[in-house]
């Protein structure tokens, strides 16, 4: 089964091709079912990958390698480790949820589902690629379908938000591409010639002069910081979230932003350990600013969707802070929080989208008293709020706790300020729930329908995982911890080959 990761990556693209080749003969209902069937099949393949993964090993597993463009050293190389495993599973899990949440899309359904499926291939490919140029191709491929989802099916100001999203992320990617090409040029002295293979570039990067390594670190950092996004490169995110359709917001918060934080762990830290230590304080300060600034901005919002968008800026600050504290606990907590944030914030966006479909408003001042009219929907909202604020017993608690404890061990002030961010999150999220659920209800809202069967099917799996991962976080950390320890050891200057392939030999597979 050496083709398992390739199948997982390109299966959604096959579904997109079916929809495109079918043309107008594919009716809207058929397009929905084809997209749902394809994403469910991809999730089943992801579960097969999970079944073959050995959580005790820190290296890359199920590696597939094939020559692609030998003249420039470009190879098709994919593999998975404890850092990428749960991000791949999260992606494969959220896409069927997003397709179901898009069931009411009534315009150009076939093209909408094509964009969704292409986006899934691009995101999964980004998490699996071990060749830097291959990673960059997937990384850039994310932009087009997400741009189309926002610009084609978003809100009133969707074109402005889509263009802003595209320009910001494209500008950041230019720095990343320059950094990749410099590393490739430096690898020309290798026995097999220049290469983009991450595992070989680890040795190349180790021989770089400190000044060069620091400039390359900054180039990679800018490319990923825009995607996270880190303050002050965050301004595209609230507009994109606000104008995107519900499924677009779920996927943007759930998996697309994680490509940025994943890039920091996968590339910045292992390739440039000395530069990572040199810039750790600066990046940590930006992370703290993101935590506090995002929380304060969220408290000032009257649009509930924009409030949740700023909460993402704040919560992803925790992830970046955990990454650059360089302790086993903080990095494990940071990777864990990538998954937890995707589930909790994804649930919030799902609920907000369902509320908007009923009330046709996102203004907190125009809501109120909805718990009486829609007790099940507002109950789901409350569970998602509790998970996002880090209530013990729900999923976000363990991730945030590990980040704060791991950071406090090396930077007490950073750990203390991060803890303040948890308090602020409780204030603005519980305040938003109070404004929506309680108080006087408008006459036009009294007869609004509660959850229907489709919406219950959408929310139930996500809410269930909020509880499961809160009660049994070891399910996640068992695989994350070995890979996190190896990254921390490399940053500390220990001779650890994090690019080693777990197992005997690589498995060759054509792309």
pLDDT at 252 exceeding the cut of 90: yes
Distant-in-sequence, close-in-space partners of 464: CB < 8 Å, separation ≥ 6: none
Question: Is the distance from CB of 84 to CB of 258 less than 8 angstroms?
Answer: no
Residue 86 domain flag: no
**Nearest CA-CA partner of 11 in 103, 118, 138:** 118
Residue 253 domain flag: no
CB atoms within 10 A of CB 504: 6
Residue 438 domain flag: yes
Mean pLDDT of 428-448: 92
Residue 380 domain flag: yes
Residue 424 domain flag: yes
* Cα–Cα separations (whole angstroms), residue 89 to 290, 449, 476: 27, 33, 11
- pLDDT attached to residue 430: 94
Burial class (CB in 10 A: 0-12, 13-18, 19+), 116: buried
508 pLDDT band, cuts 50/70/90, is very low
Calculated CA dihedral for residues 137, 339, 5, 59, nearest 10 degrees: 100
Distant-in-sequence, close-in-space partners of 470: CB < 8 Å, separation ≥ 6: 387, 392, 393, 394, 395, 396, 397, 398
Residue 378 domain flag: yes
- pLDDT attached to residue 497: 61
Return d(Cα 153, Cα 148) in angstroms, integer.
Answer: 8
Q: Which two tokens stand for residue 91?
A: 């992606």
State the helix-helix crossing angle for 395-408 and 328-359, rounded to 10 degrees: 140
Average pLDDT over the chain reads 91
Question: Is the distance from CB of 56 to CB of 6 less than 8 angstroms?
Answer: no
Residue 299 domain flag: yes
pTM of the model: 0.92
31 pLDDT band, cuts 50/70/90, is very high
- pLDDT attached to residue 495: 61
How many separate domains does the chain show?
Answer: 1
State the helix-helix crossing angle for 453-471 and 474-491, rounded to 10 degrees: 60
pLDDT at 505 exceeding the cut of 50: no
* Cα–Cα separations (whole angstroms), residue 259 to 11, 124, 219, 234, 278: 20, 10, 16, 15, 23
pLDDT at 506 exceeding the cut of 60: no
- pLDDT attached to residue 511: 35
Return d(Cα 486, Cα 69) in angstroms, integer.
Answer: 31
Q: Which domain holds residue 387?
A: 279-471
Distant-in-sequence, close-in-space partners of 393: CB < 8 Å, separation ≥ 6: 467, 470, 471
Return d(Cα 142, Cα 150) in angstroms, integer.
Answer: 13
pLDDT at 471 exceeding the cut of 70: yes
Query: Could you give the 3-state DSSP secondary structure of residue 461?
Result: helix
Residue 480 domain flag: no
Question: Is the distance from CB of 240 to CB of 315 less than 8 angstroms?
Answer: no
How many helices, marked H, and strands, marked E, lie in the chain?
23, 3
Mean pLDDT of 40-59: 94
498 pLDDT band, cuts 50/70/90, is low
State the helix-helix crossing angle for 474-491 and 328-359, rounded to 10 degrees: 130
- pLDDT attached to residue 499: 60
């Amino acid at each position: 089964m050496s083709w398992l990761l390739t199948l997982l990556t390109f299966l959604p693209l096959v579904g997109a091709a079916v929809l495109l080749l079918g043309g107008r003969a594919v009716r809207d209902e058929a397009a929905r079912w084809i997209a749902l069937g394809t994403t469910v099949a991809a999730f089943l393949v992801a579960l097969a990958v999970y079944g073959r993964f050995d959580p005790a090993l820190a290296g890359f597993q199920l590696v597939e390698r094939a020559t692609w463009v030998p003249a420039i050293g470009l190879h098709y190389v994919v593999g998975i480790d404890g850092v990428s495993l749960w991000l791949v599973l999260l992606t494969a899990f959220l896409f069927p949820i997003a397709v179901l949440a898009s069931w009411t899309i009534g315009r150009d359904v076939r093209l909408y589902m094509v964009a969704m499926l292409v986006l899934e291939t691009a995101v999964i490919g980004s998490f699996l690629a071990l060749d830097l140029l291959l990673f960059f191709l997937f990384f850039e491929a994310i932009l087009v379908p997400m741009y189309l989802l926002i610009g084609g099916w978003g809100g009133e100001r969707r074109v402005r938000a889509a263009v802003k999203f595209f320009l910001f992320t494209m500008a950041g990617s230019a720095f990343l591409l320059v950094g990749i090409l410099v590393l490739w040029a430096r690898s020309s002295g290798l026995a097999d010639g220049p290469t983009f293979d991450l595992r070989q570039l680890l040795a190349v990067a180790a021989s770089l002069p400190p000044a060069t390594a620091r400039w390359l670190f900054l180039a990679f950092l800018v490319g990923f910081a825009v995607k996270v996004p880190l303050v002050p490169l965050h301004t595209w995110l609230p507009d994109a979230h606000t104008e995107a359709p519900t499924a677009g917001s779920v996927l943007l918060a759930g998996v697309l932003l994680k490509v940025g934080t994943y890039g920091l762990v996968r590339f910045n830290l292992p390739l440039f350990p000395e530069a990572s230590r040199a810039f750790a304080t600066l990046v940590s300060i930006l992370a703290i600013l993101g935590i506090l600034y995002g929380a304060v901005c969220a408290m000032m919002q009257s649009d509930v969707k924009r409030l949740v968008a700023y909460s993402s800026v704040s919560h992803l600050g925790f992830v970046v802070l955990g990454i650059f504290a360089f302790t086993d606990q903080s990095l494990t907590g940071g990777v864990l929080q990538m998954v937890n944030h995707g589930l909790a914030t994804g649930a919030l966006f799902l609920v907000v989208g369902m509320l908007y479909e009923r009330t046709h408003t996102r203004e907190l001042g125009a809501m109120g008293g909805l718990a009486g009219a829609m007790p099940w929907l507002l109950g789901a909202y409350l569970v998602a709020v509790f998970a996002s604020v880090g209530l013990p017993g729900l999923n976000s608690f363990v991730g945030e706790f590990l980040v704060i404890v791991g950071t406090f061990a090396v930077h007490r002030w950073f750990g203390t300020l991060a803890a303040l961010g948890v308090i602020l999150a409780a204030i603005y999220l519980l305040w938003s729930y109070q404004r929506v659920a309680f108080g006087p209800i408008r006459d036009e809202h009294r007869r609004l329908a509660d959850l229907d069967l489709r919406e219950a099917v959408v929310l139930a799996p996500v809410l269930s995982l909020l509880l499961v991962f809160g009660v049994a976080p070891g399910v996640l950390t068992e695989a994350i911890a070995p890979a996190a320890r190896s990254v921390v050891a490399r940053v500390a200057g220990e001779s650890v080959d994090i690019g080693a392939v777990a197992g005997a030999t690589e498995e060759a597979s054509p792309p």
